Structure 1
């Protein structure tokens, strides 16, 4: 099966430098302009199914890349960004406490936010449910427009990569990865064969 992961476009929250996990920040003018350009220059694959998180920045990104004529199968809270707890909507450079990524990769609870275990459980639980439906429907490809932390978590668990690589995994706004995976429907096991960056046309 083929799973395409796309990060949302550049947002107002990105511009302000804030922790915007579950906060519903919108795409910025820069983000909208970049997505118009990327649609013409990058080869976003067509797939059998299309999913986004339920936050407006992923839904708007999807529409700008794939157009209104391509339907979204579901916009699911399962594919939301990491919830940053008490850090939500606070600028990164105003945090005197431990940076969130430092505790996320150690799976430690922090400032009422999500751990890597909690995030992995919700995204892979949803992914398995989708893949089960796809096996029945004889479909073999899907796209998920989501968030940086979600793309990184997918890759760390499936590649697999050390959690210490969290900071090093590139997740440019509006771009992402194409993963080739096998799915064992009996044992609910997703195995990564390889992955590549979304290529230019």
Structure 2
């Protein structure tokens, strides 16, 4: 089977440098254009299912991609971004100015701590990789697209490459690009990372 990983299109919150894991917002005009380009590319590719985080920015991106093929988007909360708790919907500059100590502590102890009122990293990592494993098990010999967020895509690439959670910061997924992996009974081959369309 082949798995394509796609990050949602740009949002205004991206431009403002927001912490907005579970805050539900839509893609902006540029994000729609990115999704349209992805739709054109995936219109030339054979795929059987398309999954998406149930948050609007990912679900909307997936709906645009699948529009011409008339494939229903399977929305799944497993593929949501990390929940930032009390820091949801706050600008990075605000967090640095008002919660600098807590932020520094999290950056040093990110694997064993959580944002105030937020989701612990290992809970997030387990949630995302459990979702990915389920999709793989349910779709052997099929091709699927998963539209998600930067954090979950890093977690999925950690799993697919075998580096595990320690490799989380090695990956960054660009908007308007895709990554892909070929998965067989014997091995997982990473074909592309951040491939533009």
TM-score when normalising by structure 2: 0.82
Q: Describe how 1:2-151 pairs up with structure 2 within 5 A.
A: 2-40=2-40, 45-95=45-95, 96=100, 97-98=102-103, 102=107, 105-135=110-140, 139-151=141-153
- For residues 49 and 100 of structure 1, the distance between their equivalents in structure 2, rounded to whole angstroms, comes to 40
3-state secondary structure, aligned to 2:90:
coil
| 1:163, distance to aligned residue in structure 2 (A) | 4.9
Aligned residues: 192
Is the contact between residue 44 and residue 198 of structure 1 (CA under 8 Å) also seen in structure 2? no
- Structure 1: unaligned runs, 5 residues or longer: 185-190
Query: Residues of 1 paired with 2:75 and 2:12: CA distance?
Result: 21
Separation in 2, partners of 1:200, 1:27: 18
Deviation at 1:121, TM superposition (A): 1.8
- Structure 1 Cα separation of the partners of residues 58 and 94 of structure 2: 26
SS at match of 2:51: strand
Unaligned runs of 5+ in 2: none
In the alignment, is the contact (CA less than 8 A) between 1:178 and 1:195 conserved in 2? yes
How far 1:101 moved relative to its partner? 7.0
